[in-house]
């Protein structure tokens, strides 16, 4: 490859949110002890991972540190280990644009240098302005348009324009519901690359509902190398929904085929820590037919999970219902939206 490829590990963040989602739905799991959080971050650093996400944050959250979810950037940043190499980068993710910018300090070395922000589609300008405000405070900003497939061509152009204006660190393609294929990845990557400033990296965050994560990631690496690129991954694929690209799988692939020097044993040590976290009575993450069906119909995966867990519906019943979801209810699960779908 002629351009830089960076690997971002988001085990603590996406994995922590997965655990929080399970517990919120009455499914008890192990939690991240303080030792777990420090060990996972340190092992990721020692493995030579380029970018390590320490967790997520919002001032609406309290008492959720056991899921690597923090109230503010100062608390999250306490879990940064010492860098293994100079350009290693630590990040935290804001789950929304609601924490007042006035509460977020200017960047300083004791804080994570990178901030990722999930854009709220219904408040796109507010979200983009929030990213720009963080950039002005000195942070390296990663712009995360969740469910990028829902964005129109004009909205994609708007994101690219604003990412250039704020001098974002990266603009992401996010396959939130895991139904993107190589054609989709190619289209969005090239739409970004056409107008995006060369200094702005393109990121790809894959989910594994249709077991396409590795296929899509390899496609990006092997075919879309016109830009500096970031690939996201989680140890054991631990993440929301069907989970993510597995760090151990992509590390082995990159070491074998691109000559990278990530420490595979350090990643396996993280996998060992996480072995006890998956509840044995439920598929907490990873591929399952229940998570495949919503991806087939391009709808939010939580619909199928709720139908299975709390309505005891068969796979055929779930498929029949999700095949008829109206457009305005596809992308956002709420209990109210589920009632509308089931009562249709």
- Shared domain check, 307 and 237: no
Q: How many domains does the chain have?
A: 2
Say if residue 298's pLDDT is above 80. Answer: yes
Residue 296: the pLDDT is 83
The lowest-confidence range among 169-173, 199-203, 282-286, 303-307 is 282-286
Identify the band that residue 83 occupies on the pLDDT scale cut at 50, 70 and 90: very high
- Shared domain check, 260 and 337: no
Residue 15 lies in a domain: yes
Say if residue 1's pLDDT is above 60. Answer: no
Residue 282: the pLDDT is 58
Domain boundary among 223, 248, 274: 274
Domain boundary among 229, 245, 274: 274
Task: Give the domain extent around 299.
Answer: 289-342
- Shared domain check, 16 and 65: yes
Domain boundary among 227, 251, 274: 274
The lowest-confidence range among 68-77, 84-93, 159-168, 285-294 is 285-294
What is this structure's pTM? Answer: 0.87
The CA distance from 173 to 147, in Å, is: 8
pLDDT in tens, 185-242: 999 999 999 999 999 999 999 999 899 999 999 999 988 767 899 999 999 899 988 8
Residue 279 lies in a domain: no
Residue 242: the pLDDT is 83
Residue 246 lies in a domain: yes
Average pLDDT, the chain: 93
Say if residue 142's pLDDT is above 70. Answer: yes
Residue 136: the pLDDT is 99
Residue 284 lies in a domain: no
- Report the DSSP beta bridge partners of residue 202: 171, 229
CATH code of the domain in which 58 resides? 3.20.20.70
């Amino acid at each position: 490859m002629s351009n830089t490829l960076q690997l971002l590990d988001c085990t603590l963040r996406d994995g922590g949110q997965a655990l929080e989602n399970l517990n919120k739905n009455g499914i008890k799991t192990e939690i991240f002890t303080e030792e777990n959080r420090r060990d996972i971050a340190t092992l990721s650093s020692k493995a030579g991972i380029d970018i390590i996400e320490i967790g997520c944050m919002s001032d609406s959250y309290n008492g959720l540190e056991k899921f690597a979810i923090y109230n503010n950037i100062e608390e999250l940043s306490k879990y940064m280990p010492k860098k293994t190499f100079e350009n290693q980068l630590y990040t935290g993710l804001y789950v929304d644009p609601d924490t007042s910018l006035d509460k977020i300090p200017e960047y300083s070395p004791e804080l994570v240098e990178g901030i990722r922000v999930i854009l709220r589609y219904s408040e796109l300008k507010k979200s983009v302005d929030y990213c720009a405000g963080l950039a002005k405070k000195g942070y390296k900003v990663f712009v995360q348009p969740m469910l990028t497939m829902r964005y129109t061509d004009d909205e994609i152009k708007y994101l690219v324009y604003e990412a250039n204006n704020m001098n974002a660190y990266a603009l992401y393609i996010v396959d939130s519901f895991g139904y993107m294929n190589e054609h989709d990845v190619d289209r969005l990557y090239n739409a970004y690359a056409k107008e995006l400033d060369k200094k702005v990296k393109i990121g790809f965050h894959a989910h594994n509902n249709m077991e396409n994560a590795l296929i899509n990631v390899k496609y990006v690496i092997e075919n879309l190398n016109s830009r500096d690129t970031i690939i996201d991954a989680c140890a054991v694929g631990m993440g929301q929904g069907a989970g993510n690209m597995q760090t151990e799988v992509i590390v082995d692939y990159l070491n074998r085929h691109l000559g990278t020097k990530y420490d595979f044993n350090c990643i396996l040590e993280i996998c060992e820590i996480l072995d006890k976290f998956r509840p044995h009575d439920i598929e907490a993450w990873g591929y399952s037919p229940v998570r495949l069906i919503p991806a087939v119909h391009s709808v939010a995966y939580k619909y199928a999970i709720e139908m299975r867990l709390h309505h005891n519906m068969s796979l055929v019943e779930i498929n029949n219902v999700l095949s008829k979801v109206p457009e305005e209810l596809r992308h956002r699960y709420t209990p109210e939206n589920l009632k509308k779908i089931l009562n249709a």
